[in-house]
Amino acid sequence: MIITVNRPISGWEIRILDNGTAGRNKPNPNKLNFLANDRTCKIDGCSNPIRINRTSGLCDTHVEHEHDLLLELRNNGILIGAPSHKDIIDALINWSSSRNFGLLPFFSSLSFNTLGNVPDVSTLAGKTVHTGITPTTIDLIFDELIKVINNFFPLNNNSSYQPLQTSKGEIPAIVLAFTFAGLLICEESNRGDRWFSRIIRKDESKTTQLGAAMPIAYFATRIFPWGVEMNSSARNLTR
């Protein structure tokens, strides 16, 4: 299992945990046999044979990840559930527009520090091993994103703690920012192949999955002056 990460902020707690096979396990998009030089499943401990030209490197039993990162949001120890990507983005945009505070630099920094920096869950769990590569752990990744958040939502500024309305009730802006960063990690690790393409294949252009780029694309769609019809349909990007 992947280690559980807890990050407290102002009486709230953002927790990223591994739901194992009890979660919504996603297909593993990595091309673990991209060199087409192996006939055995690449999952550690599995000896099932595969066709040598099966670039996934996975047998039929292991085409999906056996791990699934899940984010929990708690308020004073009480589990309240996390708002969706869309819910958080909408709340932050509404808040920032009333304060004349542009969010583009914030989301750009989150994007730069997330995309391609989060290993897939099978790698994080040690189910796929890459010779000579020690993957960064979830806690270190989250801490780097928290540094980004603190640049835009200072811990000593009252505005950072302004409660914003969401589907889960009122949540402080900085807590929503922490939550969004945690959700990006989960999305990138559960669905993405950018880290594998960049670090293992040495060619980021081989990336096939949006992963955490999808909610960031929703933000970009919201702030671009498309017109009424695109703003109303942008929600489809997070489905």
Question: What is the residue range of 140's domain?
Answer: 83-238
In a domain, 220, yes or no: yes
Mean pLDDT, to the nearest integer, of 123-151? 96
- Identify the helix (H) or strand (E) that includes residue 14: strand 12-18
Task: Tell me how many degrees the CA angle 186-196-125 measures, rounded to the nearest 5.
Answer: 55
- Identify the helix (H) or strand (E) that includes residue 90: helix 85-99
| Residue 227: pLDDT band with limits 50, 70, 90 | low
Counting the structural domains of the chain, the total is 1
For residue 238, pLDDT over 60 is answered with no
User: How does pLDDT run across 35-60, given as a tens digit for each residue?
Assistant: 999 999 999 999 999 999 999 999 99
In a domain, 139, yes or no: yes
**pLDDT the model gives residue 135:** 94
In a domain, 3, yes or no: no
Nearest one of 2, 72, 73, 60 to 27, comparing CA atoms:
60
The answer to whether 181 touches 216, Cβ cutoff 8 Å, is no
In a domain, 167, yes or no: yes
Nearest one of 203, 157, 133, 224 to 10, comparing CA atoms:
157
In a domain, 24, yes or no: no
Alpha-carbon distance of 176 to 178, in angstroms, equals 5
Alpha-carbon distance of 153 to 148, in angstroms, equals 9
Q: What share of the chain is helix, strand, coil (3-state, %, to 5)?
A: 45, 15, 40
Alpha-carbon distance of 215 to 235, in angstroms, equals 10
Q: What is the pTM of this model?
A: 0.92
**Residue 79 neighbours by CB distance under 10 Å:** 11
The answer to whether 120 touches 196, Cβ cutoff 8 Å, is yes
Torsion of CA 159, 165, 170, 171, to 10 degrees: -50
User: How does pLDDT run across 172-214, given as a tens digit for each residue?
Assistant: 999 999 999 999 999 999 999 999 999 999 999 999 999 999 9
In a domain, 22, yes or no: no
Residue with tokens 């099966």: 54
Q: What is the DSSP letter of 21?
A: G
Side chain identity at 209, as an amino acid letter?
Q
In a domain, 33, yes or no: no
